[in-house]
Amino acid sequence: MALALNIAIIVVALIALYFLLKGRPKPAPWQGHPSGGSYTPVPEGAPVRHWSDGGRFELEVVGESRYRDTIARLAGAHGADKADARHPALLLPDDANPYEDKAVAVFLAGEMVGYLAPKDALAFREMLARHEIAGQLTSTDAAVRGGGEWEGKRLAYTVSLDVSLKD
């Protein structure tokens, strides 16, 4: 009898849980999240400042793997050797980014190639604020490097920017 009562209580609890969860309204999607597909910001207007660190190219772009085809094309033809292609870059503080609230997007030749690492993006935004151009589109020079061949395979490319965050 006790076993039957325990089973009945478990069944009633499961049915109640089912109806409780089934009846819950689904949360509304956050306005900033992309609806199906990836999110890509769009730079608008002309850059308000051009940054230069004397050709050091020490600030690296992250997330390039998502844009590897674009970056490979921007690297140009370089055979089995490593690429070292130079391009003008746009740096866009991406306030609408649904994944990172302090993101800074990087564009080469009008195409997205990645972001600054979160720590670098924060430092870059602080630098923009010091120069009283917070949230503004700026530019710099970029180097697409790598992509040499090793053991019959093409190595990855990197994108580095000519910006010092110690400005």
Q: What is the C-alpha R_g of the chain?
A: 24
Tell me how far apart the alpha carbons of residues 1 and 69 are, in angstroms, rounded to a whole number.
68
The two structure tokens encoding residue 131? 């120069």
Provide the 3-class DSSP secondary structure of residue 165.
Answer: coil
State pLDDT tens for residues 99-109.
888 999 999 99
- The three-point CA angle 146-39-92 to 5° equals 65
Q: Are 144 and 157 in contact (CB under 8 A)?
A: yes
pLDDT on residue 29:
46
Q: What is the pLDDT of residue 75?
A: 94
Question: Domain limits of the chain?
Answer: 59-161
Q: What pLDDT score does 24 carry? A: 54
Q: In the CATH scheme, what is the code of domain 59-161?
A: 3.30.70
Q: pLDDT (tens digit, 9 = 90+) per residue, 134-154?
A: 999 999 999 999 999 889 888
Length of the chain equals 167
- How many C-beta atoms lie closer than 10 Å to residue 65's C-beta? 10
Amino acid at 129: A
pLDDT digits (tens, 9 = 90+) for 87-123: 999 999 999 988 888 999 999 999 999 999 999 999 9
Could you report the per-residue pLDDT of 16-65, keeping only the tens digit for each?
Answer: 767 767 765 554 444 444 444 567 888 999 999 999 999 999 999 998 88
